[in-house]
Amino acid sequence: MVFDLDMIKALYDKMPSRIAKARKVVNRPLTLSEKILYSHLHEEQKLENFGRGKSYVDFAPDRVAMQDATAQMALLQFMSAGRPKVAVPSTVHCDHLIVAKTGAAEDLTNANNESSEVFNFLSSVSNKYGIGFWRPGAGIIHQVVLENYAFPGGMMIGTDSHTVNAGGLGMVAIGVGGADAVDVMSGMAWELKFPKLIGIKLTGKLSGWASAKDVILKVAGILTVKGGTGAIVEYFGEGAKSLSCTGKGTICNMGAEIGATTSTFGYDESMERYLISTNRAEVAKLANKVKEHLTADAEVYANPEQYFDQVVEINLSELEPHLNGPFTPDLATPISKIKEEAAKNGWPTKVEVGLIGSCTNSSYEDISRAASLARQVADKGLKTKAEFTITPGSEVVRYTIDRDGFIDTFDQIGAKVFANACGPCIGMWSRVGAEKKEKNTIVHSFNRNFQSRNDGNPNTFAFVASPELTTALAIAGDLTFNPATDYLTNERGEQVKLDPPTGDELPKKGFDAEDPGFIAPAKDGSKVVVKVSESSDRLQLLAPFKPWEGSDLKGLRLLIKAKGKCTTDHISMAGKWLKYRGHLDNISNNLLIGATNFYNEKINSVKNALSDSYDEVPNVQRAYKAQGLGSIVVGDENYGEGSSREHAAMEPRHLGVRAILVKSFARIHETNLKKQGMLALTFANKEDYNKIKEDDTFDIVGLTSFAPEVPLTLVIRHNDGTEESIQVNHTYNANQIEWFKAGSALNLMAAKFAKEAKKPAAAAPKKAAAPKKAVKAVAKVAKGVAKAVKTVAKVVKSVTKAAPKKAAKKVASKKAVKTVAKKAAPKKVVKTVAKKAAPKKAVKAVAKKVVKKAAPKKVVKKVAPKKAAPKKVVKKVAPKKVVAKKAVKSAPKKAAKKVAKKRR
């Protein structure tokens, strides 16, 4: 089954002319990234030569993907937005909530029992709002997206940082927080600062032990965890073409680890092969027709320095296998240097477990190459020294590798096959003995290796490597084993060498699965009821955050000054906490429990200024909240690195933290904070981090004139009675400042929709003469409007309840409302719908008659003006979006088809 083929076709139809226009405005050849970005501008976005790293631009992504752990919050927010259906194709994937323990079948049954409430919630919300649902066991979001939805030249967002994986199929795919997904699913524009561009030229060809994973491990070493911040990484060159499509996916996937907005590759034969192999020959055919638009202009790759902000060159022929880690994915060590590095740094060298799979590396190619090594264990009389596990990326991969005998091969080396899910990658790993917190080493082919991430043990040294190297090191049981040069002693006491891995890029017999695990949503989900029990400890309906009080913030306490790395895993831990992802109050009990307190170097131990004693971070913050005291969090560089989880922004917001002040932010986290109405601030002078003392109180000054590019002031009151002021910067644009004032982006959106809904309700449809068909259509529309008004009235109620009237008025300024109304449905769609509902000629004729006989001029004008009568009628009685939808129903089948295509 090919999903959304019409949408892809419609985009490809428009791409050439959009790119030509952009090229004219920019006045130079275009990179692939620019072609994709410029051909996805939101219709209200004026085309101009955007400043890279400067201009905020409105985009219209083609689709949205959400995984279960982030979808809960995203969909709870979407439900409060008051929309009847998602505006773009969207999917939910159940992959993060399955604990890896015994093996796939039993683990899956347990997850289905333990998380049934959440899975039922997600499936019923999906069913109601038109979202495709991939049930537990179907696979990991990014692998499933690559197999089914990704397409060259497309643009998507996903509520997971590794959404970027789809760059392997030539997309611009970007990880975001749930609130961003709500924008796109609600039919609004999605805003992104126009990215900078990093070009990576790949020359040569991989051979021997080197694999695609080593490309990104090397890149991470060069660019570091923040080197890609605010940039798209575009790979090109002969080396790029020589890589498989899934290998490209691996490289893009781990681009999240260098903070890149996304990574991508130009369309080539490897992508065509992958599309065909995953039963999407039609997509390949369409892509082939617009090939030249799915890669950069030739001049760009010929002279990359002129078109990219930074260029890196890597020769694949010279690339060595790498091991990155421990505790950070950018600490890259080539395998030939690992012996000395391990000795120098005291890394434990005995490998306890080798884990392959995950969304990063579980392609057919990866698994077949790893299996070629596993086969040598028996052939060469070896015995695997470490434990070995596999988490296939999808049911399609699992079924196919099982059919082709690889699972049997792994079985023979004692491997455990876990469910097609994230499992150990996200701490959903019931690892025997982890609670003893012993120092130990594991090697995996995942992407992240932050402290405690995999098994909750802060003393587990996790190293990231290719699946091939992971398998070899598991066989050897030794981190310092270099398979290219070193020998192993087999059971017979002989010295043997492993042959380099070999495998197939794609299955010769094609991919297959008995049941890939997809559930399509109801055509009309309006009757589907979504239940959230008030007593649930897993799910909680969201109450809107309070709007800004209208004054500077005074007397704030210091919750924590975090020392060193503070990723989203430190701010909102995963593992056992994943189960509370749909319950804001419960998950807030993990707020910053992984962060190190600068003053005592302890984890989860901060001073409560009220009692002058040390306590856990969430307890201290709850104590401040109980007293109505706000607080600030201070952090180091790249604060919020890693995940897209907006819980890391919502939790502090929920518990009353007012500002996060750091040396620098990771992109997604900074946006998440802004969306949730928090102040995300940076030290103008990074040295000022040292001025913050444990007992200080703070004022944030300048908020009454909060404006883009105007810094704020932090007044620091020290305990000894002294006081100093420092400058703090921000990157809020005018719209984002409105989010802050409204209390959150969602509050602002709900208020806008509410206001928008009021307008058409006032303009009652006139019952004047009009062609029968048109009248019928209008009546239907009116009915739709009444329904929409009802829904929105509910939202208004909840919004006005939460926000004082005056504030609500303030946040939904006339201008803003106008924009939203305009954005709600693409003009063109409405036009087409109107045209189709009643043929022009007929309308003209009837209109003439009506003018002459039935009604006074003024009324007639409103109902059936000269040319496109129904168009205007429709415009007057209902918001564009409702009209489009309702008219689809009333229009003749053929027309409806056309409209439906356009809307998708």
Helix 880-890 to helix 827-837 angle (10° resolution) is 30
Whether the CB-CB separation of 97 and 68 falls below 8 Å is answered with: yes
Q: Residue 773: how many CB atoms within 10 A of its CB?
A: 18
Structure tokens at 506: 């794609």
Task: Out of 152, 221, 507, 642, name the contact with ligand MIC by CB under 6 A.
Answer: 642
Give CA separation, 570 vs 296, 648, 683, in Å.
Answer: 39, 9, 21
Q: Which does residue 358 touch among ligand MIC, ligand SF4, none (CB within 5 to 8 A, set by kind)?
A: ligand SF4
Q: Which does residue 645 touch among ligand MIC, ligand SF4, none (CB within 5 to 8 A, set by kind)?
A: ligand MIC
Using CB under 6 A as the binding rule, whether residue 41 contacts ligand SF4 is answered as no
Print burial letters for 392-427: b (CB count within 10 Å at least 16), e (below 16): bbbbbbbbbbeebebbebbeebebbbbbbbbbbbbb
Q: Which residues contact 315 (CB under 8 A, 6 or more apart)?
A: 203, 204, 239
* x-or-dash string of contact with ligand MIC, 561-580, rule CB under 6 A: -------------x------
Burial of 529 (0-12, 13-18, 19+ CB in 10 A): exposed
Minimal distance in Å, beta carbon 161 to ligand SF4? 7
Q: What are phi and psi of 643, to 5 degrees?
A: -70, 165
Whether the CB-CB separation of 783 and 878 falls below 8 Å is answered with: no
Whether the CB-CB separation of 734 and 725 falls below 8 Å is answered with: no
* x-or-dash string of contact with ligand MIC, 82-121, rule CB under 6 A: --------------x-------------------------
What does the chain come to in residues? Answer: 904
Using CB under 6 A as the binding rule, whether residue 643 contacts ligand MIC is answered as yes
Structure tokens at 680: 């995300």
Q: Which residues contact 635 (CB under 8 A, 6 or more apart)?
A: 561, 562, 566, 660, 661, 662, 663
Q: Which does residue 140 touch among ligand SF4, ligand MIC, none (CB within 5 to 8 A, set by kind)?
A: ligand SF4
Q: Which does residue 539 touch among ligand SF4, ligand MIC, none (CB within 5 to 8 A, set by kind)?
A: none
Using CB under 6 A as the binding rule, whether residue 217 contacts ligand MIC is answered as no
Using CB under 6 A as the binding rule, whether residue 140 contacts ligand SF4 is answered as yes
One-letter amino acid of 441:
T
Minimal distance in Å, beta carbon 99 to ligand SF4? 13
Minimal distance in Å, beta carbon 495 to ligand SF4? 37
Judged by CB, which is closer to ligand SF4: 11, or 256? 256
Minimal distance in Å, beta carbon 362 to ligand SF4? 9
Contacts to ligand SF4 from residues 71-100, by CB under 6 A:
none
* x-or-dash string of contact with ligand SF4, 426-465, rule CB under 6 A: x-------------------xx------------------
Burial of 161 (0-12, 13-18, 19+ CB in 10 A): buried
Question: Catalytic residue positions?
Answer: 95-96, 160, 448, 643, 645
Contacts to ligand MIC from residues 405-434, by CB under 6 A:
426
DSSP 850: I
Q: Which residues contact 299 (CB under 8 A, 6 or more apart)?
A: 29, 306, 307
Using CB under 6 A as the binding rule, whether residue 263 contacts ligand MIC is answered as no
From 392-400, 510-518, 637-645, 774-782, give the range in contact with ligand MIC by CB under 6 A: 637-645
**Which alpha helices (H) appear in 641-719, and where do they start and end?**
647-654, 667-675
Using CB under 6 A as the binding rule, whether residue 123 contacts ligand MIC is answered as no
Contacts to ligand MIC from residues 171-200, by CB under 6 A:
175
Contacts to ligand SF4 from residues 535-574, by CB under 6 A:
none
Using CB under 6 A as the binding rule, whether residue 445 contacts ligand MIC is answered as no
Judged by CB, which is closer to ligand MIC: 69, or 88? 69
SS3 of residue 424 by DSSP: helix
Contacts to ligand MIC from residues 141-160, by CB under 6 A:
160
Report d(CA 746, CA 185) in Å as an integer: 13
From 21-29, 297-305, 420-428, 601-609, give the range in contact with ligand SF4 by CB under 6 A: 420-428
Using CB under 6 A as the binding rule, whether residue 162 contacts ligand MIC is answered as yes
Q: Which does residue 446 touch among ligand MIC, ligand SF4, none (CB within 5 to 8 A, set by kind)?
A: ligand SF4
Binding site for ligand MIC (CB under 6 A): 69-70, 96, 160-162, 175, 426, 448, 574, 642-645
- Interface contacts to ligand SF4, rule CB under 6 A: 140-141, 160, 162, 358-359, 422, 425-426, 446-447
